[in-house]
């Protein structure tokens, strides 16, 4: 089965490809398409954003499409940045600016109030020509926000997300270890477990 992965984030693409290894799937990166529609992620929830992306790209391309929305929820910030995590520092946001803004927002906040969790929602959508069908998979992991970046692995807020069971930030662990514990890794594991029934639903609508 050909599967379009609806992201231009190379880190996310790598994680998806690794998680689905061994399945009867040929991953098609979004950048392999000549063009694709611009999708405004204006949903109020991760589910809304993930489904909006997957539905639009499946309809446009004709491929079964996987898209995700994920975010970081910080206790001291009442759950922010949440669904706005990728654009936390504005329209020209990048990882460095987002991390700087987060550290600034938490300046002076003690460790006991720096609790945080990563959340990921993956949407898998089969286009109408394939019989339609939508599936949702959730994953999350708990940690806290470090006082300074640690490590250069991963992407996004990984250098600031301290994961107590490993005693390190996600930026300090290798990709394979992160896949076992991360929010996206957990959501992808659920997708992989459900894949036989998903594939049956796609091939025999």
- For the annotated catalytic residues, the residue numbers are 69
Angle (CA) 99-103-105 rounded to 5° is: 115
Tell me how far CA of residue 144 lies from CA of 72, 111, 120, 128, 164, in angstroms.
Answer: 10, 8, 17, 42, 8
Q: Residue 205 is encoded by which pair of tokens?
A: 């609508």
Kindly list the strands in the beta sheet with 26-29, ordered across the sheet, starting from the edge strand earlier in the chain.
26-29, 2-5, 64-74, 115-125, 134-145, 161-163, 168-169
Helix (H) or strand (E) holding 5: strand 2-5
DSSP assignment of 123-174: EEE--GGGT--EEEEEEEEEEEE-SS---S-SSTTGGGEEETTTTEEGGGS-
What 3-state DSSP class applies to 188?
helix
| Closest by CA position to 137, among listed 25, 24, 1, 16 | 16
């Amino acid at each position: 089965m050909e599967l379009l992965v609806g992201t231009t984030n190379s880190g996310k693409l790598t994680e998806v490809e690794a998680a689905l290894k061994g399945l009867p799937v040929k991953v098609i990166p979004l950048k392999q398409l000549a063009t694709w529609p611009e999708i405004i992620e204006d949903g109020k929830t991760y589910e809304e954003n993930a489904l909006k992306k997957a539905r639009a790209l499946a309809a446009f391309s004709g491929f079964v499409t996987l898209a995700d929305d994920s975010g970081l929820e910080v206790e001291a910030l009442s759950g922010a940045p949440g669904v706005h995590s990728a654009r936390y520092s504005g329209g020209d946001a990048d990882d460095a600016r987002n991390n700087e803004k987060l550290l600034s927002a938490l300046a002076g906040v003690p460790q006991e109030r720096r609790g945080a969790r990563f959340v990921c929602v993956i949407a898998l959508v089969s286009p109408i020509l394939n019989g339609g069908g939508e599936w949702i998979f959730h994953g999350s992991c708990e940690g806290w926000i470090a006082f300074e970046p640690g490590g250069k692995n991963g992407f996004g807020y990984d250098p600031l997300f301290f994961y107590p069971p490993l005693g390190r930030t996600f930026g300090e662990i290798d990709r394979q270890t992160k896949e076992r514990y991360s929010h996206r890794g957990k959501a992808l594991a659920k997708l992989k477990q459900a894949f036989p029934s998903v594939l049956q639903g796609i091939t025999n609508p």
